[in-house]
């Protein structure tokens, strides 16, 4: 067992973009962090120096998910929170068999959080009423579907639904909520035309950046009452 100053927060896919921003914000507030990464980004050095425990994990098989849960249990008896951030945004393409796209999307957005929630339940319980949190990162497309990312949208919709099931199962010890972002930040390779088109989709017409999710996660962890909710952070997209 590792000695932590308090129960750590577990973030999947915590070595880049939103997951990285979350890890940094917890570390800056002296909240211990365990994160998973798949690609060994250079940011991992600084995260480790700041005290994060960074575990290589590829959730593409059930065995790997079980092994990861076992690793967490061997590190700590308690988790303050588990943030399901790891994700892939795969479109349907003519070159990938559709069953492969569907399997990949279900694996990372459904199997992984479903199994980790079940396997790590003992680490989340036992900390009093509202003593721990699960947060599912879903997507605005859960509401509307997506003609280019059908399997992605369906898998995030399943994750959104699990928010309510796990909230019911784990209350009142563990609160379970979902954050459904619209556009938060662009990828480096997004060209100007794509960026303009994406910005036009919301009322707010900005890509607000990771801080928007960081603040919402802070709020969710501070709440003693909010559970089973999906919080949209989408610049008012449905009203366009």
Ligand X SMILES: NC(=O)c1ccc[n+]([C@@H]2O[C@H](COP(=O)([O-])OP(=O)(O)OC[C@H]3O[C@@H](n4cnc5c(N)ncnc54)[C@H](OP(=O)(O)O)[C@@H]3O)[C@@H](O)[C@H]2O)c1
Distance CA 176, CA 133 (A): 6
And the tokens for 72?
């967490």
Q: Is 152 a catalytic residue?
A: yes
Q: Which of 77, 1, 67, 5 is nearest to 36 (CA)?
A: 67
Distance CA 158, CA 148 (A): 18
Residue in 60, 127, 161, 223 binding ligand X, rule: CB under 6 A: 60
What DSSP designation does 107 have? I
Residue in 119, 150, 185, 226 binding ligand X, rule: CB under 6 A: 185
Residue in 53, 157, 184, 221 binding ligand X, rule: CB under 6 A: 184
For position 113 contacting ligand X by CB under 6 A, the verdict is: no
Residue in 116, 137, 162, 217 binding ligand X, rule: CB under 6 A: 137
And the tokens for 67?
């092994």
For position 227 contacting ligand X by CB under 6 A, the verdict is: no
User: Taking a C-beta distance cutoff of 8 angstroms, is the pair 170, 191 a contact?
Assistant: no
For position 183 contacting ligand X by CB under 6 A, the verdict is: yes
For position 17 contacting ligand X by CB under 6 A, the verdict is: yes
Active site residues: 152
Binding positions for ligand X, rule: CB under 6 A = 13, 15-19, 38-39, 57-60, 85-88, 108, 137, 139, 181, 183-185
């Amino acid at each position: 067992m590792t000695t932590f100053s308090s129960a750590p927060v577990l973030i999947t896919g915590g070595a880049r973009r939103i997951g990285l921003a979350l890890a940094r914000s917890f570390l800056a507030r002296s909240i211990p962090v365990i994160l998973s990464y798949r690609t060994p980004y250079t940011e991992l050095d600084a995260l480790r120096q700041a005290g994060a425990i960074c575990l290589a994990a590829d959730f593409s098989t059930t065995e790997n998910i079980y092994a990861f849960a076992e690793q967490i249990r061997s590190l700590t008896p308690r988790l303050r929170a588990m943030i399901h951030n790891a994700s892939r945004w795969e479109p349907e393409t003519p070159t990938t068999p559709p069953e492969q796209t569907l399997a990949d999307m279900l694996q990372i957005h459904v199997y992984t959080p479903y199994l980790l929630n079940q396997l790590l339940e003992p680490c989340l319980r036992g900390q009093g009423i509202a003593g721990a949190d699960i947060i599912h990162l879903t997507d605005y497309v859960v509401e509307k579907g997506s003609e280019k990312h059908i399997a992605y949208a369906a898998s995030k919709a399943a994750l959104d639904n699990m928010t309510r099931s796990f909230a019911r199962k784990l209350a009142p010890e563990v609160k379970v909520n979902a954050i459904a972002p619209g556009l938060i930040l662009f990828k480096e390779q997004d060209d100007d035309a794509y960026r303009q088109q994406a910005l036009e989709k919301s009322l707010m017409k900005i890509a607000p950046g990771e801080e928007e999710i960081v603040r919402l996660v802070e709020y969710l962890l501070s709440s003693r009452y909010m559970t089973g909710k999906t919080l949209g952070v989408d610049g008012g997209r449905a009203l366009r």
